[in-house]
Amino acid sequence: MKLKEPLLTLKQAAAFLRLHPRTVVGYVERGELNGRLIGRRWRFRQGDLDRFVDKAPSHWDFYQEPQEELLSWRKFSHEE
């Protein structure tokens, strides 16, 4: 069974959202962001993060220069 889209780790999701990992978990616990515990590790779908950004208040600034870690993940995920 192949996943429709690769899953991101908590660290990758936090880097994408420009938030602290604890803040990301808080959004999940409040039901504002979809995430799953697989084993004892958080995993996120890129589409869920994109929807979260789309619903975010307009004064949040998500559009800064991407961090190197996020860029390397995107490169890896498109090599399949």
* pLDDT tens-place values along the chain, 80 residues long: 456 788 999 999 999 999 999 999 999 999 999 999 999 999 999 999 999 998 887 766 655 555 555 555 555 555 44
**pLDDT given at position 79:** 46
Question: φ, ψ for residue 55 (rounded to 5)?
Answer: -90, -5
pTM summary value: 0.69
Kindly state the tokens that stand for 16. Answer: 């994408």
Nearest CA-CA partner of 2 in 76, 75, 80:
80
Rounded Cα gap, residues 58 and 44, in angstroms: 23
**pLDDT given at position 80:** 44
Question: φ, ψ for residue 56 (rounded to 5)?
Answer: -70, 150
